[in-house]
Amino acid sequence: MNQVQNICLVDDDDLFHFITKKVIERTDLVKNIKVFYNGREAIHFLESALSLMEELPDVILLDLNMPVMDGWEFLEEFISLKPKLGKKISIYIVSSSNDPADIMKAKSISEVTDFVIKPVTEAKFVEMIQGLLSGSGKE
């Protein structure tokens, strides 16, 4: 199976970073993993990587509840930045929230590929990446 070049984890939880990185590494489906602790850090990275297409992520795993800039605020900024990116980036909301309002709101945003309730299992991650690589991920 092919690999995804870059993935970004945007979450303020160190344990989530540790576990999710281990899950991702076990699948051997991703070359590079970048970690950000809030949406602001991730937006700054995207802005700085605009001229370096190879640095931009293919996938973002985005938490909703974070300090500084939460996932909803990140999505607002991302949507305004999207025309400058020149690359499709799949965003998966990965949250401990199972609030139907959060799930419905996330699924109503066209930039969001899917809503995943934590933790991300190896099987779920493989399913996400296979969908992306086969082109069946939501546009």
CATH code of the domain in which 87 resides? 3.40.50.2300
Q: Which residues contact 115 (CB under 8 A, 6 or more apart)?
A: 92, 93, 95, 102, 103, 106, 107
Give pLDDT, residue 136.
56
pLDDT interval class at 29 (50, 70, 90): very high
Residue 138 resides in a domain: no
The conformational region for residue 86 under phi > 0 = left, psi -120 to 50 = alpha, else beta, is left
How many domains does the chain contain in total? 1
Euclidean distance between CA atoms 40 and 54, whole angstroms: 21
The string of pLDDT tens digits covering residues 41-82 is 999 999 999 888 889 999 999 999 999 999 999 999 999 999
Asked if residue 119 belongs to a domain, the reply is: yes
In single-letter form, the type of residue at position 68 comes to V
The answer to whether residue 139 is domain-embedded is: no
Other C-beta atoms within 10 Å of 25: how many?
A: 11
Boundaries of domain holding 65 = 4-133
Residue 114 pLDDT: 93
Evaluate whether residue 31 is within a structural domain.
Answer: yes
In a domain, 34, yes or no: yes
* Residue 73 covered by a domain: yes
Report how far Cα 75 is from the mean position of its chain's Cα atoms. 11
Which pLDDT score is estimated for 3?
84
Band (1; pLDDT cuts 50, 70, 90): low
Q: What CA–CA distance (Å, rounded) separates 38 from 87?
A: 22
pTM over 0.75: yes
